Amino acid sequence: MTDIPAAFLHVDMKDTVHMVLQGTIAEHIVKLKPTFYRKYKWQNKKGTPMLYVQLKNALYGMLQVALLSDTLIIWGFTINPYDQFVANKLIKGKKCTIIWHVENLKILYGTKTL
């Protein structure tokens, strides 16, 4: 097993993804850069501060993290058609399998193919 710390923070979003922040987190984000964020802050019917944001990078657990598969394909791996988080490659006649979830990878190597 291996871990790529905060790998998801380095994955650019391919699609436009908006998210709504509410309550204290919305207030704190506005405080970071008031001149930019203040115009996007509003309150819901209960008076809770709300803020719409557009994501530039993936968040933990988002499917965009699966974009690791793009890199593995470049490296010659084939993505499993039944599970997009599994990739295989023959290396020196032995099978190498990489299974991942978010930033955790399990690498298996040495299985002889028939």
Q: In sequence order, what are the residues at sequence separation of 6 or more whose Cβ sits closer than 8 angstroms to the Cβ of residue 1?
A: 104, 105, 106
Q: CA 114, CA 107: separation in Å to the nearest integer?
A: 20
* Strand residue runs (E) in 1-114: 2-3, 18-22, 41-43, 49-54, 78-79, 86-91, 94-101, 104-112
Q: Which of 59, 92, 89, 86 is nearest to 74 (CA)?
A: 89
Confidence at residue 63, expressed as pLDDT on a 0 to 100 scale: 52
Q: Which of 84, 85, 78, 83 is nearest to 101 (CA)?
A: 85
CB of 98 closer than 8 Å to CB of 77:
yes
Q: In which band, very low, low, confident or very high, does the pLDDT at 78 lie, cut at 50, 70 and 90?
A: very high
Q: In which band, very low, low, confident or very high, does the pLDDT at 111 lie, cut at 50, 70 and 90?
A: low
Confidence at residue 43, expressed as pLDDT on a 0 to 100 scale: 94
Confidence at residue 55, expressed as pLDDT on a 0 to 100 scale: 77
With 80 as the cut, is the pLDDT of residue 14 above it?
A: no
Q: In which band, very low, low, confident or very high, does the pLDDT at 57 lie, cut at 50, 70 and 90?
A: low
The pLDDT mean for the chain works out to 80
Q: In sequence order, what are the residues at sequence separation of 6 or more whose Cβ sits closer than 8 angstroms to the Cβ of residue 25?
A: none
pTM over 0.75: no
The pLDDT of 89-109, averaged and rounded, is 85
